[in-house]
Amino acid sequence: MTSGNPPIAGDTRLFAIIGDPIAQAKSPALFNRLFTELGANAVLVPLQVPAAQLSVAIAGLKALANLDGIVVTVPHKVAILEHLDLLGDHAQAVGAANCMRRLPDGRWQGEMYDGAGFVAGLQAQGIQCADQRVFLTGCGGAGKAVAHALAGAGIAAIQLVDSDPQRQHELAQQLRAIHPPLQVSEGGPANTDHDLAINCTPCGMAEGDPLPFPIYALRPDAIVADLIMKPERTPLLLAAEARGHRIHLGRHLLENQAALVTRFFGLQSSHLATVTTPIPGENT
């Protein structure tokens, strides 16, 4: 393990995280620590990119010959697909991407690790997914990824809620088609049927946000999870903790998906490798 951060120099490879807002992003510190541990001459920086400027920003970033990859966060995970040349398996299934890499031939490939990171985070905390009954609110890019990953991990049922009924229904239909044994329902509040209740919306990031869903009907042993990283303990998690629920923090997703994204970027031990070798299961 390398101690300290290597100096940024002319041959340092660049990575970025784009989003709006971006001040809440914890990725730079985490990824840069991973880069240091790998001995990689690389750095990741946060860039605030408003939705209206996404096309201009991506064109500019692609033009930087020493920029090898981009982490994509809210609100760009779906819109970024228009700027990619090909998608990995997870991104294809979800219809969204949370990272993109430059391939040796100059094309850009996108992939989605929010779902895999969330499930890995649960497992790292000793929470098993098999046969669980899940309530999930927020069917955008991150919510889709989490729903697909949970379905793949063997949950028994999922109840989907979104402010956009069409988006909610499209995800429900997709899950029914890909995972026939899974019980999928739409709408309604979290209730005593649920073992795990998850917020996949941005509600809770801004001061004064209401709770993304009421928790009063949940069983005392139900787990409440939030994907939001900052604040670490959102109003939802604080309310759940006050009622005695076990809570699951957003940082567990980030910490467990970072290794997957780092590998996707082509970073190997002690050097920055090429990205010609795909991760098993990816389309290239």
3-class state of residue 160 by DSSP? strand
Residue 268's pLDDT is 61
Long-range contacts of 63-67 (CB under 8 A, 24+ apart): 64/14, 66/11, 66/12, 66/13, 66/14, 67/13, 67/14, 67/15, 67/16, 67/102
Q: Is 115-253 the same fold as 13-112+254-272?
A: yes
Q: pLDDT tens digits for 37-73? A: 999 999 999 999 999 999 999 999 999 999 999 999 9
Domain locations in the chain? Answer: 13-112+254-272, 115-253
In this structure, CATH architecture of domain 13-112+254-272: 3-Layer(aba) Sandwich (3.40)
Query: At 42, which amino acid appears?
Result: A
Angle subtended by helix axes 141-152 and 165-178, to nearest 10: 20
Q: pLDDT tens digits for 239-258? A: 999 999 999 999 999 889 99
100 pLDDT above the threshold of 60: yes
What is the arrangement of strands in the sheet containing 67-72, beginning at the earlier edge strand?
42-48, 13-19, 67-72, 99-102, 108-111, 86-87
At the fourth CATH level, which superfamily is domain 115-253? NAD(P)-binding Rossmann-like Domain (3.40.50.720)
Q: Which of 26, 62, 77, 230 is catalytic?
A: 77
pTM score = 0.82
Query: Catalytic residue at 77?
Result: yes
Helices (H), the chain: 27-38, 54-62, 89-94, 114-124, 141-152, 165-178, 235-242, 250-264
